[in-house]
Structure 1
Amino acid sequence: MVDTPVLQVRNLHTYIGSPRGVVQAVDGVSFDVAASTAFGVVGESGSGKSVMARAIMGLTPSHAAVTGEVYFQGRDLMSLSRKDREEVWGKQIAMVFQDPGRSLNPVVRIERQITEGIRRHLGVSRSEAHDRALTLLQEVGVPDPERRLRNYPHELSGGMRQRVMIAIALACEPDLLIADEPTTALDVTIQRQILDLLRKVQTERGMSLMLISHDLAVVAGRTDRVAVMYAGRLAEVGSTRSIFASPHHRYTHALLGATPTLDHERHAPLNLIAGSLPSPTDPPTGCRFAPRCEAATAECSEENPPMTVVDRDHRFACVNPVSALSLSSVGGTTDGR
């Protein structure tokens, strides 16, 4: 594994004004993504994962306040103008969004949507761009790619549209691909195909992948490292194997405990995390998971716990971490089954 980070995020904040107050969507997040590795970001819906990804890309609303540091291959993305960022998008960093039906232009044929970025960033001819688009559709498993290039998005299934989105993202050979909940609207069989495809192209091309999901089973076995987000903050980050085998933060432990496993007793109720995410406009002081945590003490509500280092690749923010005795009750496996 290459240790040199392709992406470095330091103390990233993203606050967004709303009629109900200021939404603290991302509140002081820091992590690295190493070159040629897959990095997972997990957490319940509303944890700030997608907003964080958009802040990294520079795609937040104009009224959002984004502060912190984001370095891509040593280049300060936060200091770039809109024009300079557009040169990075697609060519160096690409993104696959949640809903391909909304991301693809409904009145433009698939070929043009794939070749537009190729011709702009790579400066190739129309015929060369066509050939590359054909190859990309073959690579992502689209049957009869020549015919699909002439289709409009509504003529494709949800799974095929997502494969087209991945082809568009891969078109200019980016060094980092951000996949934001790429299987949300797909059935279970297609979900697995898309996830396996992402991992396959990531390893074959030697690029970095940031895979964002609310489902721990999605990142298990498909990522090298995982960051667990809760209410805009990082709860825990470390190697995927370490996070699944020895979770320290109470939220990580609860998420794993709520994950169904093959040996789960039939008809037995699943473990649930009581309560819900705090309001992003009025989060509690201290640890934001404290109101839902069975092990919370007065100390948990006083101040935000600092990151505690387990080893060079594992750290967590919890003043009452999971004990070794509790780890035997954790559900889930590292192979995603």
Structure 2
Amino acid sequence: MTGVQPERGAGQEVISDAPLLRVRNLHAHIGSVRGVVRAVDGVSLDVGRSQALGVVGESGSGKSVMARAIMGLMPPRSGRSGEVLFQGRDLLTLGRKELEEVWGKQIAMVFQDPGRSLNPVVRVERQLTEGMRRHLGVSKSEAHGRALDLLKEVGVPDPERRLRNYPHELSGGMRQRVMIATALACEPDLLIADEPTTALDVTIQRQILDLLRRVQVERGMSLMLISHDLAVVAGRTDRVSVMYAGKLAEIGSTRQVFDAPQHRYTHALLGATPTIDHQRHTPLRLISGSLPPPTNLPPGCRFAPRCEYALDACTDPGPVMESVGSDHDVACLNRASSDASSMVGDLVGR
């Protein structure tokens, strides 16, 4: 797999050629009454130091399960295999106590629903300062000052008052900002943001996304931004990976993938995304069919049953990830033409 050299984003400086996070052949399965759900099936990717990686795909493609498998937050009746090397240390080999030393201090996560992630009966200050006092060993007064600074950094007005609030006393956008502040409290090297703007209105969505990008650049940390919305990652990431039914379809620099999508699924996703210059009263292009059931996945390319360009070889034996350029890999046997997309400028501008 190519692309281990991290791409520099605006205002960023790459510290080392070695990726901060290196995922190799990651598998994650969950037991269900209908059988084993192979939610993540052989995913390999890198997150460079001070780099933002976008992970996109339809709901049910395995993005969130991949993030939880990396963190070690899988539900009961589940399993993981492969390698998740964080700063050279395989997280899959760590026990619960060892992982607790990684969570928050080295890797932090912003979940989809802050209303469920924040403790409803604990004031904001305690939720912000608990991790600091445990991992950083700061005093109560110092933790209070750092909590105030964090709320200011993420744009929470009247932070002294908000520290005394319970989560239910805050708006959805305010709760998400508190969640981000909590994730940043111990100055992690990697922040995983899993659909961080779910259920927020579009104005607040943009504020939260711009906040994540700004904080990531200013702190020089790495970011994994997970979303089903291509426009979310287009202007806020350095690299992007496209997932479908538990597998990676395409990965490369954001500009390469959006300017010249090679996988037919990536091309179809871009074609189905509305843009500002879309002609009025004309239907959007749709992707026919739906994701295959995760307990009964098709052989070969998972997208083949929905792809009008599928070949016999797409299902037997199916494609493997191949390099199509510098830092651009794709798993497709009948790739789209290099000029397939003409909408990247519209998406990046959103």
Bin for the TM-score computed over the shorter chain: over 0.9
Question: How far is the alpha carbon of 1:267 from its aligned partner?
Answer: 2.2
Number of the residue aligned with 1:335: 348
Aligned residue for 2:348, secondary structure, equals coil
1:32 maps onto 2:30 in alignment? no
Cα distance per residue 1:183-223 (max 9 Å; x no partner): 01100000000000000000000000000000000001100
* Paired residues of 1:260 and 1:332 also in contact (CA < 8 A): no
Question: How far is the alpha carbon of 1:311 from its aligned partner?
Answer: 2.0
Cα distance per residue 1:246-265 (max 9 Å; x no partner): 00000000000011111101
Equivalent positions of 1:1-337 (< 5 A) are: 1=8, 2=14, 3-324=17-338, 327-328=340-341, 333=346, 335-337=348-350
* Paired residues of 1:13 and 1:66 also in contact (CA < 8 A): yes
Letter in 1 for 2:139: S
Aligned residue for 2:115, secondary structure, equals helix
Query: After TM superposition, which residue ranges in structure 1, 4 or more long, deviate above 3 angstroms?
Result: 328-334
Cα distance per residue 1:146-173 (max 9 Å; x no partner): 0000000000000000000000000000
* Paired residues of 2:230 and 2:347 also in contact (CA < 8 A): no
Letter in 2 for 1:282: N
Question: Compared with structure 1, are the counterparts of its residues 54 and 328 closer, same or farther at alpha carbon in structure 2 (3 Å cutoff)?
Answer: closer
* Paired residues of 1:218 and 1:336 also in contact (CA < 8 A): no
TM-score (norm 2): 0.94
Structure 1 residues without counterparts, runs of 5 or longer? none
Aligned residue for 1:5, secondary structure, equals coil
Question: Compared with structure 1, are the counterparts of its residues 223 and 27 closer, same or farther at alpha carbon in structure 2 (3 Å cutoff)?
Answer: same
* Paired residues of 2:25 and 2:44 also in contact (CA < 8 A): yes
Aligned residue pairs: how many? 336
Question: How far is the alpha carbon of 1:65 from its aligned partner?
Answer: 1.3
Letter in 2 for 1:31: L
Question: How far is the alpha carbon of 1:334 from its aligned partner?
Answer: 5.0
TM-score (norm 1): 0.98
Question: Compared with structure 1, are the counterparts of its residues 333 and 303 closer, same or farther at alpha carbon in structure 2 (3 Å cutoff)?
Answer: farther
Rounded to whole Å, the distance in 1 between the matches of 2:38 and 2:44 is 16
* Paired residues of 2:264 and 2:307 also in contact (CA < 8 A): yes
* Paired residues of 1:96 and 1:165 also in contact (CA < 8 A): yes
Question: How far is the alpha carbon of 1:269 from its aligned partner?
Answer: 1.1
Q: Percent of pairs identical after alignment?
A: 76
Rounded to whole Å, the distance in 2 between the matches of 1:18 and 1:154 is 33
Question: Compared with structure 1, are the counterparts of its residues 260 and 224 closer, same or farther at alpha carbon in structure 2 (3 Å cutoff)?
Answer: same
Cα distance per residue 1:22-71 (max 9 Å; x no partner): 00100000000000010000000000000000000000023211000000
* Paired residues of 1:259 and 1:332 also in contact (CA < 8 A): no
Q: For the aligned residues, what is the CA RMSD?
A: 1.1
Letter in 2 for 1:335: V
